[in-house]
Amino acid sequence: MPEHTTLTDRPAPHVALTLDIACVWSYLGYARFARAAARHRAVGRTIEVTFRPFQVAPHASTAGEPLTEVHHRDLGPDAADKVAHVRALFDADGTEIHFDRAVFTNTFDAHRLIAVAAHQGRAEDMVTSLFHAYFVDGHNIADTHTLRNLAAETGVAWSDDGTDVIHSELQRNRDDNITTVPRFSVENGPVLLGAQSEDALFAALETVAPPLETDGTADSR
């Protein structure tokens, strides 16, 4: 008969995610991480997830502009083929994306909102909501009204705090020479860069997971 399992009494492993909401690879990587984390937690294991801000375009305007125009300007005549290739990756992954709706904009205040949500235990939900707003719904996530609505929908109480914290964290990235996102740093474990596969992220979490132990009682059925 199968025995019941419990977790050893150890602190939850800590995972630091460095990403940007305007980064398509951060979006894909985080979607995969969310699924890996769900698998990890499904057996009763816990992980502590924190987010470090990164800006792929720190000087982007808060007014925003269609992402398709940015693609044509930055990717040149091959823009359509390159975008189609990325869209195919998302289709294969089962993650929704609409480049034709996305508004390229400054992400500083979105990161500040993630920090506010973290203090309320809702950071992961907030990140999910912001990625969906940017890459699926086509909202300008630099707009204060939009951010207030997203916070309310995610159960996060609005606050104007956090500006100095985000400036400090962005400077820390520069000091640490972090130039590639997404970045998944597992405490006492591996550091993974880029849009890693769900299985690779799950394996990284498992390397630091406390072992499951039986409690000595058998299922009598």
pLDDT for residue 11 = 67
Burial of 30 (0-12, 13-18, 19+ CB in 10 A): buried
| pLDDT at 171 exceeding the cut of 50 | yes
Question: At CA 157, angle to CA 152 and CA 158, rounded to 5?
Answer: 90
Would the pTM count as exceeding 0.85? Answer: yes
CB atoms within 10 A of CB 22: 27
59-94 tens-digit pLDDT: 999 999 999 999 999 999 999 999 999 999 999 999
Greater pLDDT, 102 or 217: 102
CB atoms within 10 A of CB 25: 19
- What is the rounded average pLDDT for all residues in the chain? 91
* 210 — pLDDT class (breaks 50, 70, 90): low
| pLDDT at 56 exceeding the cut of 70 | yes
The least confident of 3-12, 123-132, 193-202 is 3-12
| pLDDT at 3 exceeding the cut of 80 | no
- Mean pLDDT, rounded, for 115-143: 98
* Residue 115 parent element (H or E): helix 108-118
Going from the N-terminus, what domains does the chain have, and what CATH number goes with each? 3-218 (3.40.30.10)
* Residue 206 parent element (H or E): helix 198-207
Whole-angstrom Cα distance, residue 193 to residue 185? Answer: 9
- Mean pLDDT, rounded, for 136-152: 98
182 preceded by a cis bond (ω within 30 of 0) = yes
